[in-house]
Amino acid sequence: MSFGDPNNPYGQQPGGQQPGGQQPGYGYPQQAPQGVPPQGYGYPQAPPVQGGYGYPGAPVEMPGGVKAARIMLYVLGGFQVIGAIIMVIGGAWLSDELSKSGAYGSSTDQDMAAIGLGVFVVFGILTLGIALWAILTAAKFRSGGNGIRISAIVYGSLVTLFSVISLLTTNVFAIISIALGIMIIVFCARQDGAAWFQRPRY
């Protein structure tokens, strides 16, 4: 009775044994060939997810450009708050000084002074509102969605536009706000900025 070719190392051994006298493993994971990572319980292991939030490529940390845009929004908003306060106080002081100096001899002139003060106050309130827009937008950079990104881009566009107009009136300081407004637009419109604001949230 023959049990196969004795010169064949893969031939059937007596008693159904594998070469080397080892029994086939039932219910036990087989040893993986050399160079192949071991797989648990017969299922291939899933590759680690990069990026976080359960989706590949989703950023887990605010990109540097987005952080810079956030700081610029805070800076511009802070300066606008100061400007609004100075505008209201300065308008009230100017109106009061003109009234004390007797520059307005008629009630019509006094009404014009009051109108001038009202204009200063209105512009101060508008400036304060724009400042709050910038500050609140920056505060939402970490948790806000794509709407916050659009809000920052629109704000940067308006700041750039009005700063250019101000520069045409020989206000050299407008160059600073022009540069900040353009950088806010660029950093929020870049691909990493869009990925940050459009990332899934759970």
Question: What does the alpha-carbon distance between residue 86 and residue 106 come to, in Å, rounded to a whole number?
Answer: 28
Assign 168 to helix, strand or coil.
helix
Cα–Cα distances (Å) from 105 to 94, 108, 109, 164, in that order, read 16, 8, 7, 39
Q: What is the pLDDT of residues 88-113, one digit of tens each?
A: 888 888 777 766 655 555 566 667 77
pTM value is 0.65
CB 156 within 8 A of CB 184: yes
Q: What is the pLDDT of residues 119-149, one digit of tens each?
A: 888 899 999 999 999 999 999 999 889 999 9
